[in-house]
Amino acid sequence: MPGLFAVRLLLANCALALLPACGTMYIAQAARGQWEVLHDRRPIEVVISDARTQPPLRSRLAAVRDARDFASRKLGLPDNKSYRSYADLQRAFVVWNVVATPEFSVEPMRWCFPIAGCVAYRGYFAERHAEAFGRTLRKRGFDVIVEGVPAYSTLGRFADPVLNTMLIYGDRELAAIIFHELAHQLIYAEDDSEFNEAFAVTVEETGLARWLEFTGREEELTEYQAERAREFAFNTLFTDRRAELARLYASKLPSEVMRERKREQFEALAQDMRDLARRQGVSSGYEEWIDAGLNNAQLASVATYFDCVPGFERLLARKDGDLPRFYAAVRALARKPQVQRHRELCVKSAQGNQQVRLAAPHLDDQ
């Protein structure tokens, strides 16, 4: 998946969602995994000053430190100990998430947990356990994806560290992850993954644009805005096809007919994605999904992160880009019933979900 979009789809928004009352083995792996993350962390300043730290890691952590300070000083994100420590887990991902939908539905399954409420995924600290759960769901007829996760937020209940799994990305993507995860600590609506993720994506995108402007990286800002426009075009393909499939699944046609038309819809989506990538002159980043066969779970995963983003962007624009006023409005929405806030944010306007360009206003260095 291209650029920051790849990171977003792999983010989990709450480690505490890994602690349901639904089986001692599941609880044990979650508790053990969370303990490992916390046990291995060291303050970033200690790692930077350690003579044994390799220069590339020292440089990356210095960039993290600067972005983390910016998040609190300029973006109004929590000023706490999260992302001020570092842990090397000696593996590629911290968590593997399982997303699943019924065969004839574009709505993801929900798992409900203490504190986090109901979320549209289930996470495991070991890939083999996630894959095993995914196989079980596939045998039951569900569409499933299993994805590695580079980072998550415990919603401020622990001091989340920066992980080695986050450092495979560039400094731009790394700053975006930090802004995204801190946004979850700032505002979190129970039982509403779509609201939470879209809010975090909006903060991430706004924050990154302002961070690049603040650090004088105008060329990178231009590149980022072009990348964001390309991603929006792919998101639109997913959104439109998801709506088509929702209508198909509501038609109550015989299962064999529905199954064939579903296959045709996904083949058409795959071709649309290839055509768009060719017109853009870049790799879509979706080749792995296309080669494996697109399914409802992928559409649901994309929708969780992006369907409500245009609504949040419009809200931010109405607040003249003022983040404190924006946050206050989002908190007010979070207190409303889910149906109402989704009606205000997540339903397309009469003109459709138009992308709002997130300008990076001039920022002083105070």
Residues 54-68 pLDDT 10s:
999 999 999 999 999
What gap in Å lies between CA 174 and CA 262, rounded to an integer?
37
Domain range for 102: 3-345
| Six token digits for residue 343 | 């009606």
Residues in the chain: 366
Within a domain: 355: no
pLDDT of residue 359: 35
Average confidence (pLDDT) over 25-54 = 86
Q: Which residues of 51-77 are buried (b: 16+ CB within 10 A; e: fewer)?
A: eeeeeebeebbebbbebbebbeebbbb
- Asked if the model's pLDDT at residue 5 lies above 50, the reply is no
Within a domain: 364: no
Across the chain, which distance is largest between two alpha carbons, in Å? Answer: 67
| Location of structure tokens 């580079």 | 150
What gap in Å lies between CA 174 and CA 66, rounded to an integer?
11
Burial class (CB in 10 A: 0-12, 13-18, 19+), 282: middle
| Residue % of the chain over a pLDDT of 90 | 69
Within a domain: 361: no
Most confident option among 154-168, 227-241, 252-266, 272-286: 252-266
User: CA-based angle 82:83:86, to the nearest 5?
Assistant: 120
What gap in Å lies between CA 41 and CA 160, rounded to an integer?
9
Within a domain: 148: yes
pLDDT of residue 38: 84
Give, for 100, the enclosing helix (H) or strand (E).
Answer: strand 95-101
Question: What's the number of domains the chain is made of?
Answer: 1
pLDDT of residue 258: 97
Within a domain: 166: yes
Residues 86-122 pLDDT 10s:
999 999 999 999 999 999 999 999 887 665 677 788 8
| Location of structure tokens 């975090």 | 200
Instruction: Return the SS3 of 227.
Output: helix
Q: What average pLDDT does the structure give for the chain?
A: 86
Task: Check if the beta carbon of residue 313 is closer than 8 Å to that of residue 353.
Answer: no
pTM for the model stands at 0.85
Within a domain: 356: no
pLDDT of residue 144: 97
Within a domain: 178: yes
What gap in Å lies between CA 101 and CA 13, rounded to an integer?
19
Within a domain: 325: yes
